[in-house]
Amino acid sequence: MVGMNLNDQMQGSGSEWWRHAVTYQIYVRSFADADGDGIGDLRGITSRLEHVRDLGVDAIWLNPFYTSPQHDHGYDVADYCDIDPLFGTLADADAMVERAHDLGLKVIVDLVPNHTSNEHEWFRAALAAGPGSPERDRYVFRDSTDGPPNNWKSVFGGPAWTQVSDGQWYLHLFDSTQPDLNWRNPEVGEMFVDVLRFWLDRGVDGFRVDVAHGLFKEESLRDQVFATSEEPVSGASAGESMVERTAVDEPMWDQPEVHDVYRRWHEVLAKYDGDRMMVAEAWTQSAESMARYIRPDEFSQAFNFAWLLAPWSAEAFAKVITGTFEAVGHVGGSPTWVLSNHDVDRHPSRYGGGAVGLARAKAATLTMLALPGSAYVYQGEELGLEQVEVEPEFRQDPSWFRTGKPGRDGCRVPLPWSGATPPFGFGPGQGQPWIPQPAEWAELTVEAQAADPGSTLAFYRAALAARREFSETAGEEIELVDAGEQVLSFRRGPVTVLVNCGTEPVPLPDGDVLMASGPVEGALPPDTAVWIG
Ligand code: GLC
């Protein structure tokens, strides 16, 4: 048995809404399309927010909607203070925020500080001004006559350096259209404080900070050293590379200087009312390094990707839970659980796909929702959507173009809302979305599932409602319970949670079944989770 107590850390946290919030992630281009161009937009989101409210979450996080040439679907920002015409206007953004607030939902927007688009005015100026100029010093340009300046690889595959016509090279840890900013230049920090204030003044409640562990690189820009001769995959983000990462020596990630940036941003946010928050996307190497981002004067949350990376195994889940609470406990933070997002294969597919994959996914979700801390739900998981095999002609992920591997488009297919044929109400009329939806999604639309008490949507609504009720009294302490090798079990307040990761049914403890991820009669079947109270 392992006991964990967060009570001390929760002192004085009464108004920190994000500590226990469930946030729904909206992938803007795939949520709902109001103007009928096949790509989701802000007016589409505003028109469908009731679905999110009815689900029973507390907040939404929107992927980037800023002006962008869309080489990485908006993570290549050309203007941080305007909306891409694909998605609407600033007035549409204001209306979306207002509607969300009216529905009781907080709004978190995405901030992309590691790199800009190569079409950002700063990068254009850097190219025009030439080597040695102050304009080039906002990015990481280097001379090298003998190939790229070091051996770093892009997270999306291939070298992390591109040469420009005068012979210099610029660093891009992602696509060549995403040049890395030079955070050692104070102008860069000033620019982002202005961007934060711009959105805070417009009423947003928080920021999801992209590649939060990347802003500073070791100053020497030394070569990365690899333990094996395998093709290096730098400690990363972005799809498969996150799962395959092997490097332990990472001069481009998680440098101590990044934390000064977040201390400054924390102060900026603290000047605003309403507990504005920040959540870090930081694919660090350990729970301890993740927890450094949520020290009291830095981020409010950091995604706990260890949970998402864990295989379907009681032992692996228990290890992640124990390690997470230990690490966040040391810094007075609380954990942030997530199973799916726009960068990884959807969790029903990761757990094997089909009926088994979905059963396991629901069980993992129910377990996540029982744990103290906050949780994120990615659009479409409430419908039980699986990863889609996207035909090559529709793929748009830059990693597909750089490596020839399928990439992340399969978790970004537009949502099915209603009707029997594509576009399933995603947009008006019969116009088809940017990625075709599978015909089988006819059974998975929001409309179809809302009418079916046995649907995945009904399960999510019930689980989120049960969580709200249960977390009011359950406290912040959990205790792992020994229920055999194949079963993860813990107690939180009056409730005992069990997940059967084995192949045989296991007996249930005494008590009432408060919530179950699948049918439970007398015993707990494989691939099922239950809350007993
Ligand atoms: C983050 C985003 C991912 C994006 C990358 C580069 O990992 O989640 O979608 O491609 O950063 O900005």
Helices (H), 202-291: 240-244, 258-270, 287-291
Label residue 15 by pLDDT band (50, 70, 90): confident
Catalytic residue list contains 281: yes
Phi, psi (deg, nearest 5) at residue 440: -65, -15
**Strands laid side by side in the 161-163 sheet:** 141-142, 169-171, 161-163
Ligand 1 pocket by C-beta < 6 Å: which residues? 72, 75, 112, 174, 210-211, 237-238, 281, 342-343
| Residue 137 sits in the same domain as residue 275 | no
Going from the Cα of 306 to the center of ligand 1, the distance in angstroms, rounded, reads 17
- Average pLDDT, integer, range 320-339: 97
The residue whose C-alpha atom lies closest to atom 3 belonging to ligand 1 is 238
pLDDT at 247: 58
pLDDT at 314: 98
Q: Tell me, yes or no, whether 502 lies in a domain.
A: no
Q: Tell me, yes or no, whether 515 lies in a domain.
A: no
| Residue 352 sits in the same domain as residue 441 | yes
**Helices 90-102 and 42-55 sit at what angle, rounded to 10 degrees?**
10
The residue whose C-alpha atom lies closest to atom 12 belonging to ligand 1 is 75
Is the pLDDT at 376 greater than 90? The verdict is yes
Percent of the chain with pLDDT over 70: 94
Query: Minimal CA–CA distance to 196: which of 259, 268, 267, 262?
Result: 268
Token code pair at residue 218 = 């070791």
| Residue 234 sits in the same domain as residue 300 | no
pLDDT at 7: 40
| Residue 322 sits in the same domain as residue 378 | yes
pLDDT at 442: 98
Label residue 470 by pLDDT band (50, 70, 90): confident
| Residue 33 sits in the same domain as residue 146 | no
CA atoms within 13 A on the CB side of 418: 10
Q: Tell me, yes or no, whether 465 lies in a domain.
A: no
| Residue linked to tokens 């799916």 | 340
- Average pLDDT, integer, range 206-231: 89
Q: Tell me, yes or no, whether 121 lies in a domain.
A: yes
pLDDT at 471: 83
- Average pLDDT, integer, range 42-62: 98
Is the pLDDT at 156 greater than 80? The verdict is yes
| Residue 208 sits in the same domain as residue 152 | no
With the most atoms of ligand 1 within 8 angstroms of its CB, the residue from 72, 340, 399, 400 to mutate is 72
| Residue 170 sits in the same domain as residue 244 | yes
Using an 8 Å Cβ cutoff, are 301 and 277 in contact? yes
pLDDT at 228: 60
- The predicted-structure confidence for 475-496, as pLDDT tens digits, reads as follows 999 999 999 999 999 999 999 9
Cα angle 174, 224, 189; round to 5: 50
pLDDT at 323: 97
| Residue 167 sits in the same domain as residue 314 | no
Is the pLDDT at 429 greater than 90? The verdict is no
Q: Which atom of ligand 1 is nearest to the CA of 156?
A: 10
Domain span holding position 237: 115-180+230-250
Is the pLDDT at 12 greater than 60? The verdict is no
Label residue 211 by pLDDT band (50, 70, 90): very high
Three-state SS at 377: strand
CATH of the domain at 406: 3.20.20.80
Going from the Cα of 209 to the center of ligand 1, the distance in angstroms, rounded, reads 10
CATH of the domain at 121: 3.90.400.10
- Average pLDDT, integer, range 413-439: 96
Here the contacts of 353-361 (C-beta below 8 Å, separation 24 or greater) are: 353/386, 353/387, 356/527, 357/386, 358/384, 358/386, 358/456, 359/517, 359/518, 359/527, 359/528, 360/312, 360/527
Is the pLDDT at 502 greater than 70? The verdict is yes
Q: Tell me, yes or no, whether 478 lies in a domain.
A: no
With the most atoms of ligand 1 within 8 angstroms of its CB, the residue from 237, 252, 409, 411 to mutate is 237
Q: How many angstroms separate the CA atoms of 427 and 433, rounded? A: 8
Label residue 58 by pLDDT band (50, 70, 90): very high
- For residue 231, the tally of other CB atoms under 10 A from its CB is 10
Domain boundary among 416, 436, 456: 456
pLDDT at 296: 97
Exactly one of 210, 298, 397, 409 is catalytic; which is it?
Answer: 210
Going from the Cα of 365 to the center of ligand 1, the distance in angstroms, rounded, reads 23
Is the pLDDT at 239 greater than 60? The verdict is no
Q: Tell me, yes or no, whether 328 lies in a domain.
A: yes
| Residue 96 sits in the same domain as residue 214 | yes
With the most atoms of ligand 1 within 8 angstroms of its CB, the residue from 171, 174, 241 to mutate is 174
| Residue 289 sits in the same domain as residue 361 | yes
Three-state DSSP string of 134-172: CCHHHECEECCCCCCCCCCECCCCCECEEECCCCCEEEC
pLDDT at 246: 54
The residue whose C-alpha atom lies closest to atom 6 belonging to ligand 1 is 75
Domain boundary among 406, 422, 456: 456
3-state helix, strand, coil in the chain (%, to 5): 35, 15, 50
Q: How many angstroms separate the CA atoms of 487 and 524, rounded? A: 10
* Cα 469 to Cα 105, 294, 498, distances in angstroms: 18, 27, 19
To the nearest whole number, what is the mean pLDDT of the chain? 94
Is the pLDDT at 230 greater than 90? The verdict is no
Q: Per the omega criterion (within 30 degrees of 0), is the bond before 423 cis? A: yes
Going from the Cα of 343 to the center of ligand 1, the distance in angstroms, rounded, reads 7
Q: How many angstroms separate the CA atoms of 294 and 278, rounded? A: 9
pLDDT at 402: 95
Q: Tell me, yes or no, whether 192 lies in a domain.
A: yes
- Average pLDDT, integer, range 223-245: 55
Q: What are the E-state strand segments in 175-283?
A: 206-209, 277-280
Q: Which atom of ligand 1 is nearest to the CA of 342?
A: 9
Instruction: Give the distance, in angstroms, between the CA of residue 450 and the centroid of all CA atoms in the same chain.
Output: 26
With the most atoms of ligand 1 within 8 angstroms of its CB, the residue from 62, 118, 211 to mutate is 211
| Residue 382 sits in the same domain as residue 433 | yes
Three-state DSSP string of 486-514: CEEEEEECCEEEEEECCCCCEECCCCCEE
- For residue 186, the tally of other CB atoms under 10 A from its CB is 8
Going from the Cα of 72 to the center of ligand 1, the distance in angstroms, rounded, reads 8
Catalytic residue list contains 210: yes
Q: Tell me, yes or no, whether 469 lies in a domain.
A: no
Going from the Cα of 390 to the center of ligand 1, the distance in angstroms, rounded, reads 19
Going from the Cα of 281 to the center of ligand 1, the distance in angstroms, rounded, reads 9
CA torsion 200-196-194-265 (nearest 10°) is 120
Domain count, the chain: 2
- The predicted-structure confidence for 130-154, as pLDDT tens digits, reads as follows 999 999 999 999 999 999 999 999 9
- Average pLDDT, integer, range 347-358: 98
- The predicted-structure confidence for 68-93, as pLDDT tens digits, reads as follows 999 999 999 999 999 999 999 999 99
Q: Which atom of ligand 1 is nearest to the CA of 114?
A: 12
| Residue 45 sits in the same domain as residue 78 | yes
Exactly one of 58, 240, 254, 281 is catalytic; which is it?
Answer: 281
